[in-house]
A and B are shown apart, each in its own frame.
Chain A
Amino acid sequence: MAEFIAYLIAGLATGAIYALAAIGFTLVWQTSQTINFAQGEFVMLPAILILAMVGFLGAPFWLATVLGIALFVLLFGWGFKIVIVDPMIRHGVLPLAIATMALAIIMKEGAKDGFSAEAQNFPSFLPVQTISLGGVSISLQHIAIILVACAAIGGLQWFVTRTKTGRQMQAAAQNPNVALVLGIPVARMVMLTFLINAGLAALASVLISPIYLAKFSNGEVIGLFAFIAAIVGGFNQVRGALAGGLIVGVIDSLAAAYISTSYRLAVPLVLLVIIILVKPEGLFGRKEERRV
């Protein structure tokens, strides 16, 4: 039982990371029909950028973190939309999706060649001790990751539903034509979702890299699981992506512990297939609807 709880908490922690990535994924899908196959690499790269700033510029870690995140949001929020999404979406959803696959490869190989092929230690801002609670040893880092990620998601949810700008963002996602007629700055709202996506990815990167280490190939699994989480959650809202992320994280953790570490990747995929067959609109989705 003690072991089970520890795996559960570890699963919730990685699940929270998947949720961050899945939420960003659904946001850009809703506002601009972008299926970002580079989403995993979006979580991989910020940590590498931060380490590069420490290594090449000799910046202190906290400053490198601030600069690295800012640079990442600029390049992969703003720049991603201007350079890749806007020109490609004119040709359709598929060409854009393929362009993001190419971007994923470029980011991965770029991180490998430009920085390192080896996994690098990444310092944690969070406590790393383990405490014992009633015989269960619990990693404080896991708990802290869950709390930080949930706070970020809660903040995002508050912004989207409780602020005028957030509601304009919802309007732009749900019905851009009507939003435009009302004078809502639709283009700016779409850009905002790209900046939020990059910000969430950067946060996920800073949270997960102390555990997984910073490595060019980290995006593969994260991207796959975030994608599964988004579909499981219904592809169309913050709540669904959060639940999807947590479910996938827990299933992965328990599968690795109790089934097999080598086949663990397959278990969430099985879940995905079941969901697609049984409830294609996702656990929380509604048919044919887009929303933030």
Chain B
Amino acid sequence: MDNPILELDEVVGGYGRITILHGTSFRVRRGAIITIIGPNGAGKSTVFKAIFGLLNLSSGTIRFNGTDITGWSPRRLLEAGIVYVPQGRNIFPELSVRHNLEFGAVAAGPDITDMPARIEAALDRFPSLRQKADQQASTLSGGQQKQLEIMRGLLLDPKLILIDEPSIGLSPLLVQETFGILTDLRNRGVTILMVEQNARSALEMSDEGLVLELGRTRMQGPAREILHDPRVAQLFLGGAMAEVE
């Protein structure tokens, strides 16, 4: 893989004395959607925390565009063009939708002068956000909250998005809509590294798949191959695999 946007090289780290990542290595191709799958507790979210400077690493290197970003603060990573949308609910329910959205601009440099216009455009992207702009974010549905989080992450025009289980708790229709947003972004040149439990749908819209197990990369390859690999099918995609074929 020439000139990957992100490289993890033998990353070792965890929480306190417990090691979760036992030498995790992989490369992320520029302009692709890559989905990480793996059993619960495999360390998928922990990989994202490691990349985003939220985990103490005992060894290993993380490179972004060839630059060593190991141990950089979230702020610095945001400025460099990486955003992270963690698993679960990441909004401030009592603040208004607009004020929640504005937090996406906290790390904006002084050279970004069109932020107000970007915020308006983000609200216009979804009628529900525009309609509830001045109401508490808690009045949004789960899917709308996720849309808010994604739009918030896009204000800085990131080059790489780390998104952890965006489809959790969403109806199938909203999952398709959310995946649609991500596909649009990829088509505009943004690289997306995603973790998904909804492995089948996620792999179907991805360029590559990556299987993580016990904090190590077990498999990486074109999404179709991962999707059709019998071992993966058995482990993560449920027994229904054969019927789909």
Residues of chain A touching chain B, judged by Cβ–Cβ distance below 8 Å, are 164, 167-168, 170-171, 174-175, 177-185, 291
Contacts and interface: CB of A to CB of B under 8 A. Distances in A.
Contacts of B86: 177-178, 181
Contact of B92 (A175, A181, A185): A175
Contacts of B104: 182
Contacts of A180: 54, 74
Given A167-B95, A167-B99, A170-B95, A184 B106 contact: yes
B94 A174 contact: yes
Given A177-B54, A181-B74, 19 more contacts: A164-B102, A167-B103, A168-B103, A170-B94, A170-B95, A171-B103, A174-B92, A175-B90, A175-B92, A178-B91, A180-B54, A181-B84, A182-B74, A182-B152, A183-B75, A183-B106, A183-B107, A184-B106, A291-B94
B52 interface: yes
A184 B107 CA distance: 8
Contacts of B91: 178
Contact of A170 (B78, B79, B92, B102): B92
Interface in B79-135: 79, 84, 86, 90-92, 94-95, 99, 102-104, 106-107
Question: Chain B, interface size: which category?
Answer: 20 to 34
A146 to B, nearest CB: 28
Given A164-B102, A171-B103, A178-B86, A183 B94 contact: no
Specify which of B52, B91, B95, B152 lies most central, judged by the most chain A CB atoms within 10 Å of its CB. B95
Contacts of B102: 164, 167
A180 B90 CA distance: 11
Nearest to B93: A174
B99 A185 contact: no
A173 to B, nearest CB: 10
A284 to B, nearest CB: 13
A180 B53 CA distance: 10
Contacts of B106: 168, 182-184
Interface of B: 52, 54, 74-75, 78-79, 84, 86, 90-92, 94-95, 99, 102-104, 106-107, 152
A188 to B, nearest CB: 11
20 contacts: A167-B95, A168-B103, A168-B106, A170-B95, A174-B92, A175-B90, A178-B86, A178-B90, A178-B91, A178-B92, A181-B74, A182-B78, A182-B104, A182-B107, A182-B152, A183-B74, A183-B75, A184-B103, A184-B106, A291-B94
A170 B137 CA distance: 14
Contacts of A164: 102
A291 B103 CA distance: 17
Contacts of B107: 182-183
B94 A181 contact: no
Nearest to A184: B106
A20 to B, nearest CB: 23
B222 to A, nearest CB: 30
A291 B79 CA distance: 28
Contacts of B103: 167-168, 171, 179, 182, 184
Contacts of A182: 74, 78, 103-104, 106-107, 152
B155 to A, nearest CB: 10
Nearest to A182: B103
A179 B54 CA distance: 12
Nearest to A167: B99
B90 A181 contact: yes
A286 B94 CA distance: 12
Contacts of B92: 170-171, 174-175, 178
Contacts of A181: 52, 54, 74, 84, 86, 90
A185 B73 CA distance: 10
Nearest to B53: A180
B98 to A, nearest CB: 11
Contacts of A167: 95, 99, 102-103
Contacts of A175: 90, 92
Contacts of B84: 181
